[in-house]
């Protein structure tokens, strides 16, 4: 049984799923991912820094996301660099599997009135 298996795509949390969907068609950096999620949900879902980056680490460890350093100049006060995140093939497969599961679930529920 896949229950409790962290690598099972069906075990993706809402935050992880949101992050993967945000970078489905193009790479984004952390702050951009946060803003995209807030904008898409019209402010109803907000991910904080403390939730985003650890989740990005986990997704990278699971092989669903890959990252690269940006070419911009480092931040002037700290010298920190920007990092862009991109979805991998496994990540895309995980998102598709989750979507298929939800579609199957919707069609399995009987309509009201039917035996």
Partner 1 sequence: MRRTSRRRKNRLLRKMFRSCLFLLKAGFKTAKIVLKEFIDYLFFIEIILNGILLATASLLWYFLVASGISQNVASAISQNIVFIAIIIVPILFSLFIFARHTFSKKKQKLTRGKTSGEIKLAQWMTQTIANQNSTEWEEYQDWLHDIMLSRQQLLDVKCPRWQVSLITYKRLGVFWVVVGISKVKQVATSICDRIES
Interface residue list for partner 1 (CB under 8 A): 29-31, 48-50, 53-54, 57, 74-75, 77-83
For partner 1, give the closer residue by CB, 75 or 100: 75
- Work out how close the CB of 78 gets to partner 1 at its nearest, in angstroms, rounded to a whole number: 4
d(CA 18, CA 37): 7
CB of 62 to partner 1, least distance (A): 16
Which is closer to partner 1, CB of 70 or CB of 89? 70
59 or 98: whose CB is closer to partner 1? 59
Name the minimum Å distance from CB 85 to partner 1: 9
């Amino acid at each position: 049984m896949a229950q409790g298996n962290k690598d099972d795509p069906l075990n993706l949390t809402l935050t992880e799923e949101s992050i993967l969907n945000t970078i489905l068609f193009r790479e984004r950096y952390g702050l951009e991912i946060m803003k995209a999620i807030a904008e898409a949900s019209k402010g109803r879902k907000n991910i904080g820094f403390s939730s985003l980056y650890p989740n990005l680490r986990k997704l990278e460890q699971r092989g669903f996301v890959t990252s690269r350093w940006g070419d911009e100049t480092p931040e002037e006060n700290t010298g920190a660099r920007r990092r862009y995140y991109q979805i991998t093939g496994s990540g895309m497969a995980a998102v598709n599997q989750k979507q298929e599961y939800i579609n199957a679930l919707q069609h399995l529920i009987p309509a009201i009135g039917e035996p």
